[in-house]
Amino acid sequence: MKKIVFIALFFLVANICYARGDSLNKISLNNAPFYLWADKIKFDNKNKIIEAFGHVYLTSSNYKIYADYARYDEKDKRIYIKGNVRANWDSNTIKGDEVLVFVKNSTGWIKGGEIFYSVPHLYFKGKDIEKTGKQTYYFKDTEVTACDGKVPDWSFWIKEGRIGDDGDARLYNVFFKIKGNKVMYLPYLRLPVLVKRKSGFLVPEYVSSSRDGTGIVLPYYQVLSPEEDMTFYPGYLSKRGPYGGVEFRFTPNVETKGFFMASYLRDKEVYKKDGDSPSFLQGDGLVRPNKNRYWVRGKMDGFLVSPDTRLKLDIDYVSDQDFLREYDSGYLGFDSSRDVFLKEFDRDIENKDSLIRENSMLISREYNLGELYLKVQYLENLKYKNHNLDPTKDDTPQRLPEVGLNIFKTPIWGGRLDFESQDTIDYFYRRSSTKGTRIDIYPSISKTMDLYYGTIIPKVSLRDTAYFLDSREGSDLDRFENRYFFEFDIDGFTQFYRIFSFKKGTSESFAIRHVLTPEIEYFYRPYRTRHDLPSFDSVDSISRAQDITYSLTNQFTLKTYSKKNEPVYRDFLRIKFSQTYDIEEAGRDKDLKEYPKRPFTDLRTEYDFSPFDLISMEGNVWFSPYIKGITELEHTMDLKFQDNLSGFVGYDYKRKLINDIHRKGQTKVSIIRYGGEWKPNNIWDLSYSDERDLDLKEDIKQELAIKYIHQCWTLSALFTHTQDEDKVLFTITLGSLGEVSQGFSMQ
């Protein structure tokens, strides 16, 4: 039978006066228009009931329903649906044998059916499910799973439960089942269904280590407001003591965000001499007698008063030199915090081995011609903590504060010249040694000259530095000191290119574009170092300089054509050669026996090579013209054999140098890194990485990861070998519900 469309047609034939809408093919259902299609439609005018039979399709702005039979009662505003029911209602997918919905308050019931939430991919399957509100339900004898199929790999069988207005499912008398078999009982379970940010306990972190013993960290997440939340990390390590932390995040507006975290350990272990600590912590000559150990870190990007005045805050304060090296993984570890800083703020922190931790606040505002800023910086020197060096002798300079004015390159004198300047006022404080104010004014005038064969940029700078000292160390220092000098710099470069065309047959062709950029720069500073000045940072130790730097950059671009005869470009090779000739070093007449003259620096070669998708390489090579060999090397090569198979190899090398005046005491480094990943199918994922010190002939870190990926669960094992210990970490992930990890020491 031909399908009958538009129930409003029956309203017209029966002269129904309560049909409402802009046209006769619409009627109003709870103040929202809907349409009805079916093979056959009957209308009871007396009782105001509409019945639809065969291939029923009912749709409105907030639902779509398919069924074999549907009945709408206008008096009670009730829809009854039966037979192969499929419905998208209030962002949920509903299936069942029978469904009844009261349109006014979105209540009703579902028999022999299921509710599916696409996010977080959860099924609720039961004989009787009661719809208690727009997005709330009550159910008995129901199965909950993220797995597709009639017999799910895992599921929760619930005696009773409900989904509340807050979007959480509260489940009572819960059995965890694997392939239909009950394996665990839980009296209560709470699952987030409709909301992403919800207070509650997160997946715990288990610890099993020969160094730390067994332990657990149980995070609790607390939503404070739509823009703020906190996470508490209470924990305990059997061999070390109470271990935990707290995290605070906020994003009050699009211009402001912040992340701050603190972790704490009441340590049972102390290292009263360097030899007491594990081997990977030895060698710095520092002890660690403190039991109270902590790390406070955080970053913030925001503004003061108006978005034009930017504010940046960086906190990195730690109790001792070993804490970050010992606890670098897990919820509270160094690696996870560093990843957050790089991802959210695009700013790094000092390496975990660094003994200087930087804490700073920067307030800045840009104007048309430049930038004005205020900076406060505190450098925590860990060598002066915990009964190591005498803290009263700490000579680490602190900027309290620095005020700076940077004038951007600006045309002056009718555009004939360009002016720029970098000017600062610093007050340096330290517990020991010289303190005081330094004013540094550094203006420059330059001229960009675009000539027929290239570009030349001469530049003249004046640098004047004045010191107003509060306290002095050394008889040569006066309360007021001043120095000034000129600098001259001239930079010239040009560019050549040529296109080489080739044919690979009668029709196919390709071309290579080669761009050659030579550059030469001469720099001269006619100033000799003054040893009667205070030493706060590198600005104070500027010395006479005169050198020539030259470079040659080659850029190769490949042009091919796609199957649609559209051009495709690839920058497949960049190689740059650079070297400096130090005129001052060429005229040096001191310490020649110990350090022979070496005016030419190493020839540096930078390269990026990516001929096709299979391989890409990048690195740097330094070649000495004096020892006729490589002094330093950085190389990384990535291989992608197929979409499911990839690998990498990297090598870092430094040669031991004894009589090089520019690199005194450089020790030998020879480290190789290699590994790969293989995904034989959509189920298995295997990866391996190894970092080895070839000079010491020992492994730095080895990792082997095996992952089994199912539609609704993932099982992974991570084997890690370091100088400290060997570990294995097992993790099982149940779809979107989270993961559980358990680590074990293999020693």
pLDDT tens profile 232-257 = 999 999 999 999 999 999 999 889 99
> Of 521, 520, 503, which Cα lies nearest the Cα of 512?
503
Is a pLDDT exceeding 90 seen at residue 728?
no
Reference 365, options 421, 442, 307; nearest CA is 307
Task: Tell me the DSSP string of 15-66.
Answer: T-TT--SSSTT-EEETTEEEEEEESEEEEETTTTEEEEEEEEEEEESSEEEE
Question: Which pLDDT band holds residue 747 (cuts at 50, 70, 90)?
Answer: low
Instruction: Check: CB of residue 397 under 8 Å from CB of residue 537.
Output: yes
> What sign for the dihedral angle of Cα 259, 260, 266, 268?
positive
Tell me the pLDDT tens digit for each residue of 84-97.
998 887 667 888 89
* Residue-averaged pLDDT of the chain: 87
Residues composing the chain: 747
pLDDT for 89 equals 73
- Following DSSP, what letter does each residue of 617-661 receive, concatenated? EEEEEEEETTTTEEEEEEEEEEEEEETTEEEEEEEEEE--BSS-T
Domains of the chain (ranges; CATH) run 4-198 (2.60.450.10), 223-365 (no CATH)
Q: Which single residue is written with the structure tokens 């207070």?
A: 199
* pLDDT mean over 648-655: 96
Helix, strand, coil fractions of the chain, as percent rounded to 5: 5, 60, 30
pLDDT at 507: 56
pLDDT at 19: 32
Helices (H) and strands (E) in the chain, counts: 4, 46
SS3 735: helix
745 — pLDDT class (breaks 50, 70, 90)? low
Other residues' Cβ atoms within 10 Å of the Cβ of residue 482: 12
Judge contact between 540 and 527, C-beta under 8 A: no
State the burial class of residue 181 (Cβ atoms within 10 Å of its Cβ: 0-12, 13-18, 19+).
exposed
Cβ-contact 138, 171 below 8 angstroms: no
The Cα–Cα gap between 663 and 376 comes to 32
Tokens 């480290």 appear where? 671
The DSSP element (H or E) to which 370 belongs, if any, is strand 370-381
User: Which residues in 502-519 are b (16+ Cβ under 10 Å) and which e?
Assistant: eeeeeeeeebeeeeebeb
Q: Are 206 and 212 in contact (CB under 8 A)?
A: no
What are the tens digits of pLDDT across the range 377-433? 999 999 999 989 999 999 999 999 999 999 999 999 999 999 999 999 999 999 998
Predicted confidence band at 687 (pLDDT cuts at 50, 70, 90)? Answer: very high
Amino acid at 290: N
pTM value is 0.75
Instruction: Name the pLDDT band for 746 (thresholds 50, 70, 90).
Output: low
